[in-house]
Amino acid sequence: MKRAIIILVLAFVSASDFVHAQKVVAVEWATKFASSPPKLNAEQQKLMPIIQFGVATLPEAKLISMSGAGASFLGIPGNQASWLQEQLISYYKELENDPVFKGSPSSLSYCLSDRKPTRGHATVYLPENFSEESPCILFLHGFGGSFQFYLHFLKTCFPEYLIVCPAYGISMSRISSIYLDESLQAVAEKVGISIDKPTLIGLSAGGVGGFREFANHPQKYRRFVCLAAFPSSKVEGEVAVIAGGEEYFVKDGTLEQNSKMFLSDGEINIIPEADHFFLLSHPDQTRKILRRILLN
Confidence check: pLDDT of 18 > 70: no
- Phi and psi at 136, nearest 5°, equal -130, 145
* pLDDT tens, position by position, 165-214: 999 999 999 999 999 999 999 999 999 999 999 999 999 999 999 999 99
Separation between Cα atoms, residue 271 and residue 286, nearest integer Å: 8
* pLDDT tens, position by position, 103-145: 899 999 999 998 999 999 999 999 999 988 999 999 999 998 9
* pLDDT tens, position by position, 33-77: 999 987 877 877 787 788 888 888 888 888 877 665 566 566 677
Q: What is the DSSP letter of 37?
A: P
Q: Measured on CA atoms in the order 248, 252, 255, 261, is the torsion positive or negative?
A: negative
* pLDDT tens, position by position, 258-290: 999 999 888 999 999 999 999 999 999 999 999
Predicted TM-score (pTM) of the model is: 0.90
The shares of helix, strand and coil residues in the chain, as percent rounded to the nearest 5, are 50, 20, 35
DSSP string, 137-191: EEEE--TT---HHHHHHHHHH-TTSEEEEEE-TT--TT--HHHHHHHHHHHHHHH
Q: Describe the strand order of the beta sheet including 223-227 as a list of residue ranges.
A: 23-30, 119-126, 162-167, 136-140, 199-203, 223-227, 235-244, 263-271
- pLDDT of the residue at 57: 86
Q: What is the CATH number of domain 20-38+107-295?
A: 3.40.50.1820
* pLDDT tens, position by position, 222-250: 999 999 999 988 999 999 999 999 999 99
Separation between Cα atoms, residue 257 and residue 155, nearest integer Å: 33
